[in-house]
Amino acid sequence: MHPAVCWLRTAWRGACCALPSGTFPETTRPRLHKLSFLPNSTSTRCHSSFFAATGEQRIRGNSAQLSSAPGDNKLLLHPASLSRVQVTVREFSSGSSTSRMTASKYQIAERGVPNSTDYRVYFKNENGQSISPLHDIPLYANAERTVYNMVVEVPRWTNAKMEISLGEGLNPIKQDVKKGKLRFVANCFPHHGYIWNYGAFPQTWENPDHLDADTGCKGDNDPIDVLEIGSRIAKRGEVLQVKILGTIALIDEGETDWKIITINVNDPVADQVNDISDVETVFPGLLRASVEWFKIYKIPDGKPENQFAFNGEAKDAAFATKTVAETHRFWQQLVNKEVDNNGISCLNTTVDGSPYLVANDAADEVFAKSATGGNPEPVSDALDKWHYITLK
């Protein structure tokens, strides 16, 4: 049975209770709390977990909409949603084991109306203080530097093209916009939406002034992209602990765009997958499908087939680890103002010695001034279309 169908069959249909927003006291962790939603919200929605999406949300990546009445600090759910939506709030606590870890204590705070150009996902630390997911979440999740933090931008099987906003203070996640319209990736048969949990490594930067010796192209001015191939569908804004398995090198409009292949260290088969050769054994066909996905996903938008370095061959974990370390050094140069910022906001609260370091109060003020409104765009039925692509 398709997982989305299975989930819908088992969706919780009971009543939901109201939950105070904001940071949860230690005495309440790690209880499960149920939330729900009112449409057309303009409120801030802060929670330390993520929503189990409806079938439509899994496909399209739309966020559920939270609201609070004026002067009230409770989050409510529209009764019409109760039959379709299960929502839980979980606290993510730190772990020290390499083989079994839990996510760090980061919270997300949504601002603006979902499915609008004003919608943002901000990040806060365990104390409820505003942080940048690009600069303030460490790249390495353990002392041995064998486990990495991954910021999830796009959950698997969703279409909304969400990404860390480089030009905005605190670098919230937002939906990419083209010609004034929100961007969604097309469904190219047999793929539906993104076929992995997709995101980025914090504290990395593909330097657009650096000519890569392996690809012959310069960087794309983004944090390095990450594909997480485990069995669990992650949530937007979640911070996963992953290990590196390998990489493929997309050449996107003449720029190097590394795609680091990883697996959640808590995945049931994580111990069986340690290098790129293991991926084909445990996940047969996934590497080929991944290369095909990147080759064709822009064709429905009228763009040509994407190209790859190394003829699309995936490089091993050692190669990928070296590549990530290099982009981490580039980020260090960026955040320490040793190179031009190329339009990237380097505002941070944790990087000692950085000229862009600000106090927690200043970061919270940036968050407080962010937009809370927005006009939601109707989602076109064309988003459900399957495109049949034949490569020459």
| pLDDT tens by residue, the chain, 392 residues | 444 434 433 333 333 333 333 443 433 333 333 333 333 333 344 544 333 333 444 444 544 333 333 333 333 333 333 333 222 233 333 333 344 555 568 999 999 999 999 999 999 999 999 999 999 999 999 999 999 999 999 999 999 999 999 999 999 999 999 989 999 999 999 999 999 999 999 999 999 999 999 999 999 999 999 999 999 999 999 999 999 999 999 999 999 999 999 999 999 999 999 999 999 999 999 999 999 999 999 999 999 999 999 999 999 999 999 999 999 999 999 999 999 999 999 999 999 999 999 999 999 999 999 999 999 999 888 899 999 998 87
Count helices and strands (H / E) in the chain. Answer: 6, 22
Q: Under DSSP, is residue 116 helix (H, G, I), strand (E, B) or coil?
A: coil
The DSSP bridge pattern shows strands 173-175 and 148-154 to be: unpaired
Rounded Cα distance between 158 and 198, Å, is: 10
- Phi and psi angles of residue 215, each rounded to the nearest 5 degrees, phi first: -100, -20
CA 26, 28, 33, 37 torsion: positive or negative?
A: negative
CATH class of 107-377: alpha beta
Phi and psi, residue 354, nearest 5°: -75, 135
* Lookup result for tokens 């680091």: 260
Nearest Cα neighbor of 233 from 74, 379, 356, 52 is 52
Question: pTM (2 decimals)?
Answer: 0.78
Residue extents of the structural domains in the chain:
107-377
* Burial (0-12, 13-18, 19+ Cβ within 10 Å), 164: buried
b/e map 61-99, b = 16+ CB within 10 Å: bbbbbbbbeeeeeebbbeeebbeebbbebbbbeebeeee
Closest to 206 (Cα-Cα) out of 40, 314, 35, 329? 329
Q: How far apart are the first and last CA of the chain?
A: 34
Count of positions (residues) in the chain = 392
For 242, phi then psi, to 5°, come to -130, 160
Tokens in use for 159?
């279409």
- Which two tokens mark 78? 């529209």
Pick from 179, 74, 160, 70: nearest CA to 121: 160
Q: Which of 260, 272, 265, 267 is nearest to 242 (CA)?
A: 265
